[in-house]
Amino acid sequence: MLKWILKKEPKASHNVAVQKGGEEFVYAVVENETILDSALAKGIPMPYSCQVGSCGECRCKVVKGKISQIKDLRYMFSDDEIANGFTLACQTFPRSNLQLRFDSPTQVKEGRIVDFEKLDEDLYKVLIRIEDVFDALVGQFFSLINTRSTSRYYSIVSLQKNIDNCLLEIHVGLKTDGVMSNWWRDIFSGEASRVIGVGAAEGQYSVRGKGNIISFASGSGLGVTVALITEYLRSNDAAEAAFFGVFRGGQSNYFENILSTRKEEFNGRLKASIIDSDEFYQRKQGNFAKKLTLDCPVLSGIKSKDVSGLICGSCNLVARAKSLMANLEVAEDKVSYDEFS
Ligand code: FES
């Protein structure tokens, strides 16, 4: 094993030993710097991309030592993974000397894109077939790797498990500067190989309580959130859900379509409203506050009921929705969120 001992800095308070592949790097971390920031400043090769806790590239395991984290990482890790010491280097401060391990990438299975459908402006439904068993739940996410060696996490909207194969549904939002958007455009126009790599399912975006639900989602976060709400309302007859879709201009045919049958099925137990993103982010005055507090029966008595939160969308959407939930006194540990980079 190659061992590099880097020069100790006088201000450092903790030593971090990182095992990655066959190498070990030991470096000192300045107080209040994350493990990742400190490593990058010293030129230590660590996997990373977003640096804000969204992509999961810097996922690692704390083998020994104490840490603190910038934010609650339950959107990224299951309870078991958290109990087993998994964290994100970009969100972690050392609170003692540490031993960390970057496990070799999870086994990647070969998949094939078998179908796709346009749902809305720049939003597509994609079906992926894996000729193997795939252990996953709706709401978990996996790393999709294309033949151009680009990868990104996608949430599982539905999955059909068979004895020796699995069919996964994901929703893909195209962006002007998206990491994989150009590749997706080539897929949709038939100009790229449909063979892909599928990493193991991770995370745990799920309903955390037993009572009513309040939820905010946008873009490719809508499908998975509707799927979770549907599953929950079907198995909890007395529960109700308030679901707010955030859209520019306060309009989306997709949102209306996807929910019309569900509203009928749940006969008043599902209240869904579209919010203009400018109102949601308080860039303009609107009636969103009224929708949230008066028009939504599910929220009456919210303080006395066990209410769970579901949030899926961009970092900005998650931050704003979390603060709205805090205002509504939804307990922090009952809020589950899936944040996109
Ligand atoms: S670099 Fe840490 S989650 Fe993206």
- Domain positions in the chain are 2-102, 109-198, 212-340
Backbone angles phi, psi at 111, to 5 degrees: -130, 170
What is the separation of C-alpha 116 from the centre of its chain, rounded to a whole number of angstroms? 22
- State both tokens at 331: 């307990």
Residue 6 C-beta-side C-alpha neighbours within 13 Å: 21
What is the band of 334 on the pLDDT scale with cuts at 50, 70, 90? Answer: confident
Q: Is the pLDDT of residue 239 over 70?
A: yes
pLDDT at 104: 55
d(CA 141, CA 201): 5
Task: List the alpha helices (DSSP H) in 214-314.
Answer: 221-235, 253-266, 277-280, 288-293
Give me the mean pLDDT over the 198-226 stretch. 89
Give the β-pairing of 307-314 and 335-340. Answer: parallel
Residue 289 C-beta-side C-alpha neighbours within 13 Å: 6
CATH number among 3.40.50.300, 3.10.20.30, 3.40.50.970, 2.60.40.1510, domain 2-102: 3.10.20.30
From ligand 1's centre to the CA of 52, what distance in Å?
A: 6
Mean pLDDT of the chain: 85
Cβ–ligand 1 contact at 259 (below 6 Å): no
The best mutation among 34, 38, 54, 60 to test binding of ligand 1, ranked by most ligand atoms within 8 Å of the C-beta, falls on: 54
Q: Compute how many other C-beta atoms are within 10 angstroms of the C-beta atom of residue 10.
A: 6
- State both tokens at 301: 């008595």
What is the band of 11 on the pLDDT scale with cuts at 50, 70, 90? Answer: low
CATH number among 1.10.3470.10, 3.40.50.800, 3.40.50.80, 3.30.1540.20, domain 212-340: 3.40.50.80
Q: Which atom of ligand 1 is nearest to the CA of 49?
A: 1
Cβ–ligand 1 contact at 56 (below 6 Å): yes
- Give percent above pLDDT 90 in the chain: 35
Cβ–ligand 1 contact at 48 (below 6 Å): yes
pLDDT at 306: 78
Cβ–ligand 1 contact at 215 (below 6 Å): no
The second-level CATH assignment, the architecture, of 109-198 is Beta Barrel (2.40)
Phi/psi-derived region of residue 171, left when phi > 0, alpha when psi is between -120 and 50, beta in every other case:
beta
Q: Is the pLDDT of residue 295 over 80?
A: no
Q: Is the pLDDT of residue 210 over 80?
A: yes
| 262 or 92, which is more confident | 92
pLDDT at 339: 84
Q: Which atom of ligand 1 is nearest to the CA of 51?
A: 1
Cβ–ligand 1 contact at 203 (below 6 Å): no
The residue whose C-alpha atom lies closest to atom 3 belonging to ligand 1 is: 53
pLDDT at 143: 85
Give me the mean pLDDT over the 46-75 stretch. 86
Burial class for 179, CB neighbours closer than 10 Å (0-12, 13-18, 19+): middle
Give the β-pairing of 98-102 and 12-20. Answer: parallel
Cβ–ligand 1 contact at 58 (below 6 Å): yes
From ligand 1's centre to the CA of 57, what distance in Å?
A: 5
pTM of the shown model: 0.73
Q: Which atom of ligand 1 is nearest to the CA of 53?
A: 3
From ligand 1's centre to the CA of 158, what distance in Å?
A: 26
pLDDT at 300: 58
Cβ–ligand 1 contact at 50 (below 6 Å): yes
